[in-house]
Structure 1
C-alpha cells in the first residue's frame, strides 16, 4: 500500500522541517556550473584529444548537441514535477515507480562517487606539491571541509561555489590570453583561425565516437540543478532556464578551451604524459606563472565540484527517504537547525573516503554508466507523460513531446551501450544490486514502492 503522507526522520508529517526556498536563478546556474567543474576539460584533454584524432572541439560540439536534446527533456519534466529528486522523480511519476527507483539508484553513482573523484584528484595534486606529507591526510581534510560546508546549508554552499567558479573562468580567460599572444608570435599553428581542431580527413570514426560518452558526463551539471527544485524561488520558471544556461555555457567553455589547446600544440601525439598534457601546454605558452595558476585552480575546482555533487546526492537520497523507498529515519531526515539532510551528507562524506583505496578508473566507469542510463529514461519520461498520458498529440505536441525526446533517448541510449566493458560490468553490477533491493522492497513486485506526495502543484 502506498504511503500518502510526507514524513520526516521522526515519522511525523505536521510541522516537520522543510527544504528552504532561498536560491535565485543566478545561484542555481552557478551551482550547476560548479558541479561540472569546467576546468576538468584541461586535465582530461591529453587523453581525449588522442581518441578524437585531434578533433576534440568537434567532439565537444557533438556532445553538446546530444545533451541539448536531453536538457530539453529535463526542462519539460521539471515543469511538470518541480520537486527534489531529478531523474528519479521524473521517471517514477511518468513511467513507473519501479523504473523510477532503478533510475534513482543508478544516478546515485554519479553524485555519490563525484566527491570521491574530487578528493582523489586533490590528493594526487597535493602529494606532488608536498611529497613528504601522506596523501591520505589531504584527502581526509578535504572531505571534512566539504561535509561541513554542505551541512551548513544550501545558501552557504552556493556562495562558496560561486566564488570558486569565478576562478575557473579566470583560468580559461588567462589561458586564452596567453594562447593568443603565443599564436601571434608564431607558436603552435601560428594563427588564431584554423579548421585544424575541427576537421581531420583521417579521423577514426569508431575512436571518435567512443570519446563522446566521456564528454557527455562533463555536462551532468544540468541534472544537478534539478535536484534543487524545492530550494529555488519560482522553480517552474527558474530551473528550466538554468538547465539550458548551464548546458550552453559549459559547452562554450569546452569548445573554446579545447580549440586553443589544440592550436597552440597541434602535435597531440608528442606529449610526454597524456594525463598531464595540459601542464606541458601551460608551461609552453605561459611559463611558471600560468602553470602554477592552473594547478592551484584545479585544487579549488575539486572543492567546488565536490560541494555541488555532495549537495545533489544528499537531496536525491532525501527524496528517496522521504517517500520511504529508503529508510525514512535516516535518509528522509532534515536537521531542524540547518534544514539540510545531515545524515545523507555524512554518509556521502564516508563514501568519499573510498578515495583512499579505490582507483580513479573504477569510479569514472561507474559514473559514465549512471549518467547515460538516467538521461535515456528522462527522455522517455517526456514521451510517457506528455504524449501518452496528457495526450498532447497535435503537430506541435508531436514534435515537442515525441520526436525531440525520442531523438534524445536514441542518442543517449546509443552512447550508453557503446560504453567500454569496464563501465558496463561495474554499472551492471550496481544496477543488479538495485534490482534485488527493489524485489525485496516490493515483495517480489506484489506491491508498489511508496510514492512521494508533492508540495507543489503539478501541471
Structure 2
C-alpha cells in the first residue's frame, strides 16, 4: 500500500476495494444518465406538475435554454473528468479545484440534494401505483405502502452489479421514448385548441414564476452530470464520460422541449396560463393520462401507466446509485465513518452506502405518511404536491448551486497547470457556466414560493432551501475541524482514487476486498 493511503487510514480498519472489472461503455453510462431523468416521469409527472403549479406556457423553450447552459457547463466538467476519476465526482472536483473545505461542503450538499431528488420521486411512485391498484382492483392502498416495498427492491439492486442495472434501465428508457413519441405525434395531430408556437416564445417564459419553471427543468436534467460518478467503472473514462455527458444533454434537451410543447398543445395553451384553468383533481399526471384516454384508448393508458411506474423506478435506481457512491467516496477518505466504505466482495458494489440511503429514504417517507393527516384533499394529491414537488425541486436547487461551484473549481484546477487543455474548455466555458448557473440559482430561490404553490412566503419557503444550503456550510466547518484533529484524513480529502489501489473499478478480473 502507498504511504499516502496509510496516512489516510483511521484507527479502525476500513474495507477498500482493490480491483474490479471495468464494464460500462458510452451507451451504458448514457442510459444511466437519461434514466435518472426518466423520460416518461418528466413528461407525465414533472412537466404536468410544472404547468399545474406555475401556469407558464414557455416550459418547452426553458428546456432549450437549460440544455445550452448545461452543455457549456459540461465543456469544463468533461475536461476535468479526464484527469479526475472518483466516485465522489462533484466532491472530488471541488476539493481539487478550490480546496478541501469547499470539497467537503460540496459533498454534503450533493448528498442532501441527491437524497431529496430520489426520495421526492418516491412520492410520485406511491401515488401512481396506488391509483393503478384502485383502478384495476378497487382496493384502496395507502400510497406509502408500495413505496416501502420499492425502497427494499431498490436497495437490493444497489448492492448488486452496476452493469445489470444499466441493462435493465436501458430497456425501460427505450420503451419510454417509444410511448412518449407516440403521445407527441397524437398531441400535434389533435391539439386541444389548435396548433400554437406560443410555448416556444421567450416572452411566454420570462414571466412571474420563471424561476419555478427552471427548478422543474433542472430537476428533469438531473443525472446528466452523474457520468463522472461512474468514471471508476467505465471502460475508457477519458472518452466515455465526456461523450456520455454531451449525448445525454443533447437528447434530454431536444426531446423534452418537443414533448413539453406537445403536452401544452394537448392541454391547451389557454388552459395552461389560466390560474383557474387546471382543477386540483386533474393537476399533475392526470393532465397527461386524461388526454391519452380520450385520444389514444385504454390500451395506451394501461401501457403508459405501467411504463410510467417503471420509469419512476428507473430514476429511483439511478439516484440511489449516485448517493451510494458519494457515501462510499466520503467514507473511503475518512470524512464519513469508514464502515460506510464497505463493498461487496464479489462485485465491488458499495453496499454500505446503498443500505444507508435506503434506511434514510424509508424514514423520510414514514415521516411524510404521518404528516398526511393534516392535508386538505381539495388541494390535490398529497404525495405529488408535497413529497415530489417539495423535495425534487429543493434537490434541483442544491444541484444548480453545486454546478456553479464546480464551474469555478474547473478554473482553479487548471490555473497552475493547463495540462494541455485549451483556454475555451478550462477558462471561458467555465466562466460563462458559473455566471449563468448562478443566475438560475438566484431566480429559483426568488421564486421558491411559486414552487410550493404558495400565494406568499411562509416558513416552508425558507426552510426547504436552508435544508440544502446550511448542511454545506456545516460541511466546510467540519473539514476545518478535520484539518486540526485528523490531518492525515484531511490531506486525503478529494483524492480517494488517486492512490490507484482503492478504485471501484480497474481492469482486473474480479473484485476483492481487503482491510488495511
Q: What is the TM-score of this pair, normalised by structure 2?
A: 0.79
Per-residue deviation, residues 204-230 of structure 1 (Å, max 9, x unmatched) = 534224421331222122221210000
What does residue 160 of structure 1 align with? Answer: 168
What does residue 49 of structure 1 align with? Answer: 51
The question of 1:271 aligning with 2:278 is answered yes
What does residue 307 of structure 1 align with? Answer: 317
What does residue 115 of structure 1 align with? Answer: 118
The question of 1:31 aligning with 2:59 is answered no
What does residue 472 of structure 2 align with? Answer: 431
What does residue 408 of structure 1 align with? Answer: 433
Root-mean-square deviation over aligned CA pairs: 2.8
What is the alpha-carbon distance in structure 2 between the residues aligned to residue 362 and residue 439 of structure 1?
A: 32
What is the alpha-carbon distance in structure 1 between the residues aligned to residue 61 and residue 468 of structure 2?
A: 28
Per-residue deviation, residues 19-65 of structure 1 (Å, max 9, x unmatched) = 53111111111111111112223212234236363111111111111
What is the alpha-carbon distance in structure 2 between the residues aligned to residue 445 and residue 110 of structure 1?
A: 27
Pairs within 5 Å for 1:184-333: 187-191=191-195, 194-199=196-201, 201=203, 204-266=206-268, 267=270, 268=272, 269=274, 270-272=277-279, 273-276=282-285, 277-328=287-338, 330-333=339-342
What is the alpha-carbon distance in structure 1 between the residues aligned to residue 214 and residue 393 of structure 2?
A: 14
In the superposition, relative to structure 1, how do residues 446 and 155 fare at CA in structure 2: closer, same or farther (>3 Å)?
Answer: closer
What does residue 450 of structure 1 align with? Answer: 492
Per-residue deviation, residues 394-434 of structure 1 (Å, max 9, x unmatched) = xx943332221111001111222332244432223332443
What SS does the aligned partner of 1:335 have?
coil
Number of aligned residue pairs: 445
What is the alpha-carbon distance in structure 2 between the residues aligned to residue 263 and residue 8 of structure 1?
A: 59
What does residue 22 of structure 1 align with? Answer: 23
CA apart distance, 1:234: 0.6
The question of 1:389 aligning with 2:397 is answered no
CA apart distance, 1:12: 6.5
The question of 1:70 aligning with 2:109 is answered no
Of 142-151 and 290-299, more deviation after overlay is shown by 290-299
Per-residue deviation, residues 112-164 of structure 1 (Å, max 9, x unmatched) = 23332232221111222334333333112111111111212111111121121
Of 430-439 and 227-236, more deviation after overlay is shown by 430-439
* Structure 2 segments unaligned to the other structure (5+ residues): 134-138, 369-385, 449-460, 502-516
What is the alpha-carbon distance in structure 1 between the residues aligned to residue 50 and residue 14 of structure 2?
A: 51
Per-residue deviation, residues 259-310 of structure 1 (Å, max 9, x unmatched) = 1112233232333233232233323432333333322211101210111111
Q: Which of residues 370, 391, 395 in structure 2 aligns to 1:367?
A: 395
What is the alpha-carbon distance in structure 2 between the residues aligned to residue 366 and residue 442 of structure 1?
A: 30
What is the alpha-carbon distance in structure 1 between the residues aligned to residue 234 and residue 284 of structure 2?
A: 38
What is the alpha-carbon distance in structure 2 between the residues aligned to residue 391 and residue 200 of structure 1?
A: 38
Q: Which of residues 91, 95, 102 in structure 1 aligns to 2:94?
A: 91
Q: Which of residues 150, 153, 158 in structure 1 aligns to 2:158?
A: 150
The question of 1:417 aligning with 2:420 is answered no
Q: What is the TM-score of this pair, normalised by structure 1?
A: 0.88
What is the alpha-carbon distance in structure 2 between the residues aligned to residue 398 and residue 445 of structure 1?
A: 37
Of 398-407 and 305-314, more deviation after overlay is shown by 398-407
CA apart distance, 1:333: 1.7
CA contact (8 A) 1:103 1:374 kept: yes
What SS does the aligned partner of 2:475 have?
helix
What SS does the aligned partner of 1:249 have?
helix
CA contact (8 A) 1:365 1:427 kept: no
CA apart distance, 1:441: 2.7
Q: Which of residues 101, 104, 108 in structure 1 aligns to 2:107?
A: 104
What is the alpha-carbon distance in structure 2 between the residues aligned to residue 219 and residue 201 of structure 1?
A: 23
